[in-house]
Chains A and B, each alone.
Chain A
Amino acid sequence: MDIKKGIPVSSGVAIGEAFLLDHEGYRIPKRFISNHPKAVEREKERYRDAVEKAICELQDIEEKNQGNKDIAILFMGHRFIIEDPGIQEEIIEKIESFYYTAEYAVSHTMHKHSYKLKSLPNDYHSKRSIDLEDIENRLLKHLLGGQRENLCNLKNPVILVAKDLTPSETVILPQDRILAFITEIGGRTSHTAIVARTKGIPAVVGVNAATSQIRTGDIVIVDGGKGIVIIDPEPSALEKYRLQQKKEQVRQEKLKTLLNLPVETIDGYTITLRANIEEPTEVKIAMKNGATGIGLYRTEFIYVNEIDPQEETHLSAYKTALKDLKGNKLIIRTLDFGADKNFGLEDFVGEKNPFLGCRSIRLCFEKPDLFKKQLRAILRASSLGDVEIMFPMISSLEELLRAKGILEEVKQDLSKENISYNKNIKVGMMVEIPSVAITADLLVKEVDFFSIGTNDLIQYTLAVDRINERVAPLYKPAHPAIFRLIKRVVDIAKENHVKVSMCGEMSAESHYLVPLMGLGLREFSLSSSIILNAKEMIRKITMRRAKQIAQNLLNCITHEEALEYLDKELG
């Protein structure tokens, strides 16, 4: 038995067999095909097919970037490597002689070359191994895209162990067969964590050496609430956790009884709880968990399969969401690509500091055509339901005005084309950069609502990379600076009669929810899986007490003191 500690990111207990997603650094498990000549031929054909698709895609990128030859040439380089007869021979050889699956053959070959580059003494060359990883991912995307058979062929539910999961990977996982996630990298607000919480799958991230110490087939216990991973547990531990699992089931049943009760405090203050979603199909899950609308639709997933999705692709996603919402509000956040969710988009190659780089609204300004397609689709959707639009990563009044200006242009285009849309669509912005929290009084007059995004607000205020496990302990939501910033934004919004809500993960933790209510927040957008938990908390407290707690919290001078106080008050 071996007990490891990580960062608890999604509660719940899971007991089951481990499945290693990237043993030895491979994203793809070592799998074999049968040695039948037909199977070999079919596998080679799958590989050739993926090569062809990857080449088309790269040529497309080259063409689109003709204006920027430094970018275009890089992707031509990727294409040359995929077309390289030597590389192709190596991969085919692995399929023909070792009966590797095409995925594993690609992965194995690219890793070999990547390793060679990494071992070069020149720092610059070794960093360029990222190009080979990108090429590998591109080929794998096309190989997995069609059938995704590796993971989908899982017969039994498993506990997934990986170095890290990219957004595109979490999308292809057969979620009904994932009992829990364990990853080596990441923090509370990393992508894996968010997905896990949305789906209610237990997860522990930041588990040191997980992929080298856990083998596929090992029996593992995951305690997502405490951040504990037990490998090869003793019978006494198994028994203890089975009991805890049962208790948790009972609790979930009890929470379900809250479904039809109003979300209000003992003294009658109503709170609105909406859900955060990443895919339109999650609206159903959200409504089942008692959400009254979607407070944050992260639209990045529309870009998973296409780098530049068309207006109709957007529109059909929004229509799907609206259909299941039955008249409830849908707040659509415009493209927020960047840093931890870039889906291998070409624009991020080579950014040394992507969290401070050309992400999100900045990228949209750089690519107005891409941005306008989404705005058109959102406006068109606004004639079909209660749709609001939200701009992410605004860092100044100028940016807000610029985004609104582009929206205005798109509105006029639609009017000219006689396409209907809601002319009074509400426009809001995320408050997630300290500069706009500080100057909220300047921006408040230009919006219909603020939505405080705590994940980035904390990261930028405290200068802590939220996916870097080495600094994860410095990511402190209860830091006095954070509460002061939030209070300022809420106060300014109220003075100006502008709505303010919170969509960050901070409100997902029940002991933060109460003081946030006390600061004046009445609308929250949360992961679906914890809406009922929040409801239970809200129904147990008075607003009077929440205000007291908020006041006392503002007087705490350190994160630790604040945590201690909250623990004492709320347990």
Chain B
Amino acid sequence: MEAHAKTTVRWKAGLHIRPATYIVKLLQKYPCEIKIIKDNSICNAKSVIQIISLGAECGANLTIEAKGEESDRAVEALKTFFDEYEDVEDMLW
């Protein structure tokens, strides 16, 4: 099973350690492999260090790709997170 989606980083501080941690936490329960792609960089969406190393800024367009069991649900959950998460850093800025 495969699934994919497109999304955009809405947070002023970009995709930094806090949202990255929420993402990893969120994806732990899905057995599939899942990747986040920005331009030419691909990262494992279950690794905080890889996600923050993407350097995705506010406004960056990302592609999510999943392969394996429950791919569709994982992609759906991740997309919802990108749409709904309010970053605390935004409130500080």
Contacts and interface: CB of A to CB of B under 8 A. Distances in A.
A80 B89 CA distance: 20
A70 B88 contact: yes
A128 B89 CA distance: 12
A77 B89 CA distance: 15
Contact of A86 (B14, B50, B57): B50
B49 A87 contact: yes
B20 interface: yes
B16 interface: yes
B21 interface: yes
Interface stretch (A47-55, A115-123, A178-186): A115-123
Contact of A77 (B44, B48, B88): B48
Given A70-B18, A76-B25, A125 B52 contact: yes
Given A73-B18, A124-B14, A128-B17, A81 B55 contact: no
B24 interface: yes
A121 B58 CA distance: 12
Contact of B49 (A70, A76, A84, A125): A84
A74 B48 contact: no
Contacts of A81: 48-49
A70 to B, nearest CB: 4
B21 A74 contact: yes
Nearest to B57: A122
Contacts, number: 58
Contacts of A77: 17-18, 20-21, 24, 48
A113 B49 contact: yes
A131 interface: yes
Interface residues of B, number: 21
Contact of B21 (A73, A116, A125): A73
Contacts of B24: 77, 80
A80 B21 contact: yes
B3 to A, nearest CB: 23
By CB atoms of chain A within 10 A, which of B17, B25, B47, B57 has the most?
Answer: B17
Interface string B15-33: 0111011101100000000
Nearest to A69: B88
Interface string B42-54: 0010011110110
B53 A117 contact: yes
B37 interface: no
B38 to A, nearest CB: 11
Given A77-B24, A80-B48, 15 more contacts: A70-B88, A73-B21, A73-B22, A76-B25, A81-B48, A84-B48, A87-B49, A117-B55, A120-B55, A121-B55, A122-B14, A122-B57, A124-B16, A124-B57, A125-B14
Interface of B: 13-14, 16-18, 20-22, 24-25, 44, 47-50, 52-53, 55, 57, 88-89
6 nearest CB pairs, A to B: A77-B21, A120-B55, A80-B48, A70-B88, A77-B17, A124-B13
